Amino acid sequence: MLVWLLRRLLWALPTIWGVLTLVFVLVRVVPGDPIEAMLGERALPADRARLAHALGLDQPLWVQYLRFFGEVMTGRWGVSVQDGRPVLAHLAERLPATLELAAASLALALCIATPLALLAARRRGRAADTLASALSLVGVSIPNFWLGPMLMLVFALWLGWLPVSGRESPSSIVLPALTLGTALAAGLMRMMRASLLEAAAHECMRTARAFGANERELWLRHIARLAAPPVITVFGLQMGALLGGAVITEVVFDWPGVGELFVHALAARDFPLVQGCMLVIAGGYVLANLAADLLAQLADPRQRGRHG
């Protein structure tokens, strides 16, 4: 297992390097001039040149890239061009809100997907299976930028049960978590159902039934455990994608997370802050996939023996 983990960490290094390079390129191909965004269109050429020199934007791209790579590797992510504060300080303020929303959405997705997947798998081909599959299809088809305003309209404006936006009260997280969690639950339920059905058809389960094993215990303990590794892998992919997918939801609900910070920084052409947000999102995706692979290995006895 240790050898496998070291190998995965080594494979993650070129991935992180590719992410850094892609972030650097994407930020600089975005239309707009950060100098003009900061000083305005009527700024004097001398002032523009002075600011460009201070930010290092007057240097060749390869010099800017080496400087950017060195700053990231040494933990110096630069300062925001809007207020002069360190990028890491902005991210430290916003990251807890994003992690809170991600955790609530994932917990909600698990609470919805797990019982529906078990019900659909055990009642395969029956009305319960058809209904669960239809609900998952609806959940996958509804985009967040439509579902969020609809939930806001019904539960915040019409019924007045929940706050419209912000993060001032504990109930503020309900609507954003519902928006993200329902889409996650739909995809996760379909994957869980397929994995459970595959595990239930395994020859060892047929042998257990032949020896008179309790069907309910068989499903909850043995089949669920056998079906866990592929579900954990998909769950890790969704957990990583959630950091990027939360951007729209955070903007809709004015949730003070990294996604909202990224949108505001992009509008202001704040290169260092945009780079920092993209690195956090991409780095979170890589770490989430690595953690999911590790958990999948631990959950599968065959893999433990193979890499042990």
| Phi (first) and psi of residue 200, to 5 degrees | -65, -25
Please return the burial class of 58, using the count of CB atoms within 10 Å of its CB with bins 0-12, 13-18 and 19+: middle
Please, what sign has the CA dihedral across residues 261, 266, 269, 272? positive
- 133: closest CA among 193, 201, 199, 183? 193
Q: Sign of dihedral through CA atoms 61, 64, 70, 71?
A: negative
Whether residue 124 contacts residue 197, with contact meaning beta carbons closer than 8 Å, is answered with yes
Structure confidence at residue 206 (pLDDT): 67
Cβ–Cβ < 8 Å for 192, 224: no
Task: Kindly list the domain boundaries of the chain, sorted by start residue.
Answer: 96-256
Cβ(229)–Cβ(199) below 8 Å: no
Q: Count Cα neighbours of 296 within 13 Å in the Cβ-side half-sphere.
A: 17
* Contact present, 287 and 236 (Cβ < 8 Å): no
Sign of the torsion angle spanned by Cα atoms 87, 98, 268, 25: positive
CA–CA distance, 121 with 194 (Å, rounded to integer): 8
Place of tokens 């798998």: 121
| DSSP alpha helix (H) spans, 123-143 | 127-141
Cα of 61 vs its chain's centroid, Å: 30
Query: Tokens 């389960």, residue?
Result: 205
Residues 6+ apart with CB under 8 A from 80: 86, 87, 90, 265, 270, 272, 273
Q: Which residue has the tokens 């433990």?
A: 304
Please tell me the predicted confidence (pLDDT) of residue 1: 63
In angstroms, rounded to a whole number, what is the distance separating the alpha carbons of residues 114 and 117?
5
Distances (CA, A) of 214 to 197, 222, 228, 280: 17, 11, 20, 47
- Number of C-beta neighbours around residue 235 at 10 A: 24
Q: Which amino acid type is present at position 277?
A: C
Both tokens assigned to 137: 């299809």
pLDDT in tens, the chain (308 residues): 667 667 777 777 787 788 778 877 877 776 666 676 666 677 777 877 887 777 777 788 888 888 878 877 787 787 887 777 888 899 999 889 888 888 888 889 888 888 888 888 888 878 877 888 888 888 778 887 788 889 888 988 888 888 888 888 888 889 999 988 888 888 888 888 888 887 777 766 667 666 666 667 677 667 777 777 778 877 777 776 677 667 888 888 888 888 888 888 887 778 788 888 888 887 887 787 777 777 777 766 555 544 44
Would you tell me which CATH number, out of the four given (1.10.150.530, 1.10.3720.10, 2.40.50.100, 2.40.30.110), belongs to the domain 96-256?
1.10.3720.10
Q: What is the CA radius of gyration of the chain?
A: 24
